[in-house]
């Protein structure tokens, strides 16, 4: 494997891992479908992703997860559960698509890069949902849920088609999310800092 192929393989893994931070099962479903169709080779230990059974189970899990985020209260509970699940899914999906590295290097990369980016993405979206719950009384949460599901699908497909572009999209997501969170936080503090008349 050339250095360019290795970089693309790692970028693919990181892109898919970031998508698991938005929805745990949707990127795994995309990988399963792409692998089943013969478009995406996966490591031999992850051949189970290419089976019809995995495709069906991941499809059902993805639908249930997406719908559950539209239920007030359940969405915030899912964010608590999703943190460790996203880390695990990000690690697994990264390890599955990095095929030509020694096991120690592959798993170290998968845990640090894949699990790390999945956890960071999930943390950002959980924080956004918490702010939305506080400021909109859960009315804004369906908008966030739709954006997360759409973002997860877009990033997953982009990672398959153009992994380096997916990385740029992830960087843009983090930049915009941090700006939005700062704006929300500043907007909250502004009335407190005004001098009383």
Nearest alpha carbon to residue 116 among 38, 8, 10: 10
Whole-number pLDDT of residue 140: 82
CB 170, CB 155: distance < 8 Å: yes
Distance, CA of 52 to CA of 145 (rounded, Å) = 28
CB 15, CB 159: distance < 8 Å: yes
| Tokens describing residue 75 | 């969405």
Rounded to two decimals, what is the model's pTM? 0.85
Whole-number pLDDT of residue 3: 80
| Tokens describing residue 32 | 């399963």
Whole-number pLDDT of residue 156: 95
Residues whose CB falls within 8 Å of the CB of residue 74, separated by 6 or more in sequence, listed in order: 68
Nearest alpha carbon to residue 147 among 180, 117, 116: 180
Domain ranges of the chain: 3-177
Alpha helix stretches (DSSP H) within 24-162:
25-36, 52-68, 74-97, 103-109, 116-136, 141-161
Residues of the chain under the 70 pLDDT cut: 1, 187-197
Whole-number pLDDT of residue 193: 52
């Amino acid at each position: 494997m050339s250095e360019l192929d290795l970089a693309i393989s790692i970028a693919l893994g990181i892109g898919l891992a970031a998508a698991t931070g938005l929805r745990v099962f949707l990127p795994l479903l995309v990988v399963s479908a792409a692998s089943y169709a013969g478009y995406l080779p996966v490591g031999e230990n992850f051949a189970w992703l290419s089976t019809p059974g995995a495709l069906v189970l991941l499809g059902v899990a993805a639908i249930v997860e997406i719908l559950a985020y539209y239920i007030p209260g359940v969405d915030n509970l899912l964010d608590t559960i999703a943190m460790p699940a996203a880390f695990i899914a990000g690690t697994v999906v990264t390890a599955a698509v990095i095929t030509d590295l020694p096991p120690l290097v592959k798993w170290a990369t998968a845990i640090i890069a894949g699990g790390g980016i999945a956890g960071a993405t999930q943390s950002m979206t959980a924080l956004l949902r918490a702010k939305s719950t506080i400021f909109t009384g859960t009315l804004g949460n369906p908008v966030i849920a739709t954006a997360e599901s759409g973002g997860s699908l877009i990033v997953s497909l982009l990672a398959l088609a153009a992994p380096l572009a997916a990385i740029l999209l992830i960087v843009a997501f983090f930049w915009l999310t941090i700006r939005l969170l700062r704006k929300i936080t500043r907007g909250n503090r502004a009335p407190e800092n005004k001098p009383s008349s």
